[in-house]
Structure formats: structure tokens, C-alpha cells
Structure 1
């Protein structure tokens, strides 16, 4: 995944595809695959910026005025960068950053038809319907030979930067295959932004083979667990015993708790 997200899981360079099937006709979607520059969605115009030092930055234009150009950098999965006007040699409009010939890279015509069918169903009633549920869709994964303990819990901090990126399916489940990192233990990390400290309910599809860490503190876990989250960003780490977990994927959803004080929160998405 280099350009698009689904329900805020993945890069933010291109439009989120979560509801594209309900908002765009099938022929537009097919054209977008075959001729991506034919119709470019508003606010997603591509631009090239060349600086006075010879740097070339391609991306999606966000703001352009007399003092600066702000764009989503294609080389950084849509991270916004600002280039001061006095450092810009010239700018040039570009065709769509979505490359031509994507369909020809698929193995067969059937693969292309399956891809189009999937995208056209995103956001429609059914298995790919849009959901406002606070489900973890953006993960950082790390394999380990031994389980976390109080003594080595500082390793949790490394997950945000060194973990492998993984993303849940549309239904919110991280497949078991993604959890298999050829190690006895897999650590799966999610982030939650909390604007008001308090109780938050965590719902798992299964607690089998799972241990839970809130930041660097071990927390008892079941399929429904009440967490007390502090204000700010919290790191939730699921430590998974691969043998005990077996072929069960991981789905983690955060819900409003009944107990007061109730926390206000948002699961972190993005690349």
C-alpha cells in the first residue's frame, strides 16, 4: 500500500477508498485503473517542486501561495512537507501519481475483475460497508523469541519505530497470516489518542493466546476489558503466543465504557 488508505488505514497520499463504491459509478472506477489521469479528483492535483538546491519533490498539492508550497510527499506516503517560496526554483503540474498500466501487472483478467468488484463494493451495504467503529486498522508488528516481562518491557517503546507495518482487512481483522513472523511470539502494537482520561472498553474477537500491555504496564485481558487510559497518546501492545492463538486473526475494537469517568478517544490510523 503506497497511496490509498481504507478507513484511515494506510498511506494518506490519495483519497481514502472506504466509501468509493457508494460514491462513484463502476465505469469511473474502471477508468481510474486504466486511465488514472483522465479524471483527477478535486484536491488531489499532482505537482512537482524543484528547489534552488536541485531537490525534486513530487506529491499532492495542499496549499500554494506567495510564501510557500505545501504538498503531500509521494516519497513519504503522504507526509505533508512545506517548501518556502524563496527556496523554489520552479513548479510543474503533473499527471496522476497513480501509475499507468496497473492492470497489466496483474496475473490475469480475472484478477483485474476481482479487484474492480472489491473496490466497487467498498462502502456499499454488505461485508464492505463503511463503519464508524473505532477498530484498530493500523498495526506495528514485531516477532520475538521470548515473552515480555517487567524487566524487558522497555522493548515496547521500540515497536513504534522498528515494527513492521500491517493493516487490518475491511472488517477490522488482522489476518493470522500477518501475525506469523516466524517467531514464537508476535507483538502487535496499536495507538490510541485520548482527549479525556477515563475508562475505555476494549473488545477482542478472542483473547486466546493474548497478553496485553498498556504502555509499559501489563494488564489482565479478556474478550471485554476495561482500560483506564491517561490523556495523550497510549500504546496498546498485544503479545500473541502463536501456538496458542493458532489460525485466529486479531480484531480489536475500542468502545465507550459504561463506567465513569468515561474516556474520550480515537484510534490512530494512517501509514
Structure 2
């Protein structure tokens, strides 16, 4: 185990990181991660740290580069701001961009401020601008305030808008400014997203809610949830289409936070058996008013920090010095316990009204689908014999050409990935494990060709009868763009959902 508990240990690790040419890439990455972990405890190497600059050129080793950028931020190495600023402006390399922006935020000083100004300029891609805006709010709140309407004008979805608002509201002094004066020129959808994010802060967002709510026109008083629930149940009994409801579930982004059959986010409770284990009124109430009943282990907390900032998330784990929280889908953040001033249980971090955008018959179908998940039939997610997560790419296995960023996409519960959810890429990969050599065939629908662990499969009418050895495997397919959907199934395999 690689660990840096003291400054002397960190110094030894740092020297190995920059000087030991015999280190394998995976080991070098672990060393960099250990130094980054030590940095969260304010432990850093002694002496000159400029040798880190050479590692910022290791662009072929993506994860090592990310860890080194993180280190440059923690160690406040201002001389590397130009290089970090370049990484922060990369639209396609999401993880590197976000870590680089975090490094600029941590370094501060005039060079970082200049870089953040450039990153939020109108000529930049929307993804870059919205990631950089909260960092600019830390160091130049007045400039960030003026930039908000322009940045949000490029944001296309309510989910993206809500994520940016949440990050802005967590900048202590800036959130207080927004509570006193909110930017003008924002769309109704972006104001609704702001209100949603402010409400998710619990008591910490009361002042923001009071400011934003009148701007949205949503001041009609408390909702009568009991009447809504009873009315929806009565409507569903008259007839609903759960299959269409599943499409609404996907389009509304529910899979970002919730998993079904192992596929989906882990921020919220798993829904694999929700329809079989919970009555319909409970399910509907959980969507309309998530704060009414919060499942154990999913309570959100608002943490007030010594620097005036506010962090919101679900506690995941902790050690003697750190608390790890889940502030959003797919993210785990370490915060020093010594920097926490207070913590406030805010209940569910799922805001009320997330499904309000689903209207008419689609709304009825959406709840009908939730009520069927886990029951015998087309929405039974208990078996892992179908692929429910595919990662899309532009190139087949073994291709030398560089692809764009891989795109993960979840299928329907039955394993079908329909054309409307295909991001327009030609190839997709799923992973699975076989406990023993398979005797059942691999069944593929809607694909032109397939590769198992990089080797081409001999398909006959979409079937590969060859036995697959026990162990972990990857399956890559070339999608048939003319087929209504594609699907992979093997009854002797368990496909992985994350």
C-alpha cells in the first residue's frame, strides 16, 4: 500500500514519482494518488516541487496526468497555471478539464484569475464555461455574477442548469450575494432549475428560495400531495402504458441517480424491485415529495466549512480525518473533518418537482412503469443475463485512430437499446462475467459484427454458439443503424452495470 503519512514520507514518494524511471505507469499513478490524498490532510513534500512539471506532459497516461494536475493545485504551483489552463479548456476531456479547473480555483492568484476569465469568455464551449463559472465566483464574484446570463444562455437542459446552480450556491459568499440579488435575463427553465437547487440545500437554502421563488411565479402555496397521489392512482387504474413510461424515465434522466438491474447511478436508492415491494401511493409520493420519507443511508447533509463555503452531499464513508460525501451522481468528495463548522440534516437531496416536466398521458405512464419494476414480466430486473450498460465509441477494437470521449448509455430493463438513445456512434462495449465456461449461446440482435475480448466472433443469424471461458470479458458490437434496437443476452453470463 502506498501512503504518505508525514512530510518526510511525502518527500520520498515525490522523489520516486519524478525520478524513478523504473516505476510502472500503474505504480506511478498510485504514488501520485497517495500524494494527492496526503494533500487533503495538508501534508506535502519538502523542498522544490517544480519537478512535477515534467509529468504534466504525460498526456498519453490520462489518469496519471489528472493526479498530477490535482497535485499542482493542492501545492499551489502557480508556475504551471498556463499548462493547467490549457487542460481546463478541453471540451472533450471532461475529467481532466474539471480537475484542472479545480486546480486553478485552489491556486488562486492573478494568473489563475486570468485563466478563469478566459475560460468563461463567450467564445469558449458551453461545457467549459459552466465548469469554470463557480471557480470564477470564488476569486471574482462580481465578474461571475455578470457572466451568469451569458453562460446559462448556452445551457440546453434543466439538469445541466441545476448542476451549475448547485455548484454556485456552494460558494459561500457568492450564494449570499445571490440571495440578495438574483441575475436578470434568465429563462423560466433556468429559474426553475435554480429554485430546485436552492430547495435541495434544505435550511441552508431558505434565503435563496425566498429570492428565487417570486421570479418563477411558483408561489401558489403548498401542494396537496394527497389529492395528487389519489388522482394519479385513479387515472392509472383506467389505463396506462408502462412501456412508454420507461421511455419517459430514461428521457427525464432518472437513471443518472438510480439503478435498475445493476445499471444506473448510485446516488439514490436502487429501484430494481420498487414496484414489487412498495405500494403505488408510496412510489408516487417519493417522486412528488422526496422529503416525506427518506430511505436509511440516503439522508443528505449540508456542511458549513471554515472558509464560508457550503458543501451538500450524502455521507458515504469516513476515516479519522476525512469524511467522504456523494455530492452528485458518480462523484465522491473528501472533506477534512477539521474544516467542518457545522452539519445540517436536509433529508433527501432529490428536489421536489423533478418529474413535473412529464405531463399529460406520459406522466400517468411514468408512474405506471415505476409500479411495475421488479414484478414478473417485461420489467423484471432480477436477472443479469442481458447487457444494460453500453459504452459507445467511434472505433472497433484494435483501431489506432483516436476516438472521441467514450459515451456510456443505459438500456431499457429488457436490455434493448433503441435508436433514440443511441448517441450516433458505431461501436458499443459491454462487460460481463461468467462463473464457469458457458454452455448457453450469446444472442445478439441489431448488430453487424461483434468482438469478444478484442477477437472477432463468428456470428450466424446473430448467434455465437462458442463456449466462453470463465472469467471477466468485454463484448464489443458494431451497431446496425437500420435496426430499431440492439441487444445482447447470454443466460450463462452476468453483465455488469457500472
Q: Which has the larger radius of gyration?
A: 2
Q: Which residue of 2 aligns with 1:177?
A: 420
Q: Which residue of 1 aligns with 2:299?
A: 45
3-state SS of the aligned residue for 1:113?
Answer: helix
In the aligned structure 1, how far is the partner of 2:303 from the partner of 2:432? 35
In the aligned structure 2, how far is the partner of 1:55 from the partner of 1:134? 46
Select which of 188, 192, 208 maps to 2:432.
192
Q: Which residue of 1 aligns with 2:262?
A: 8
Deviation, 1:14, is 0.5
Q: Which residue of 1 aligns with 2:200?
A: none
Q: Which residue of 2 aligns with 1:220?
A: 458
CA contact (8 A) 1:192 1:268 kept: yes
- Alignment partner of 1:68 is 2:306: no
CA contact (8 A) 2:314 2:326 kept: yes
- Alignment partner of 1:135 is 2:369: no
Q: Which residue of 2 aligns with 1:168?
A: 411
In the aligned structure 2, how far is the partner of 1:57 from the partner of 1:87? 11
TM-score, normalisation: structure 1: 0.75
Point out where structure 1 has 5 or more consecutive residues left out of the alignment. 257-264
- Cα RMSD between the aligned structures? 3.1
Deviation, 1:45, is 0.7
Q: Which residue of 1 aligns with 2:477?
A: 238
Deviation, 1:216, is 3.0
In the aligned structure 1, how far is the partner of 2:433 from the partner of 2:346? 36
Point out where structure 2 has 5 or more consecutive residues left out of the alignment. 1-252
Q: Which residue of 2 aligns with 1:95?
A: 347
- Alignment partner of 1:106 is 2:106: no
Select which of 272, 275, 284 maps to 1:21.
275
Select the structure that is richer in strand.
Answer: 1
User: Per the alignment, do residues 240 and 106 of structure 1 end up closer, same or farther by CA in structure 2, a change over 3 Å counting?
Assistant: closer
In the aligned structure 1, how far is the partner of 2:413 from the partner of 2:304? 38
The structure with higher relative contact order (CA 8 Å, sep 6+) is 1
CA contact (8 A) 2:273 2:374 kept: yes
Number of aligned residue pairs:
242
In the aligned structure 1, how far is the partner of 2:286 from the partner of 2:264? 19
In the aligned structure 2, how far is the partner of 1:48 from the partner of 1:26? 31
Q: Which residue of 1 aligns with 2:488?
A: 252
Deviation, 1:47, is 1.6
Select the structure that is richer in helix.
Answer: 2
Q: Deviations over 1:103-132 (max 9, x none)?
A: 432232x32221111101111222212332
In the aligned structure 1, how far is the partner of 2:331 from the partner of 2:423? 29
3-state SS of the aligned residue for 1:93?
Answer: strand
3-state SS of the aligned residue for 1:29?
Answer: helix
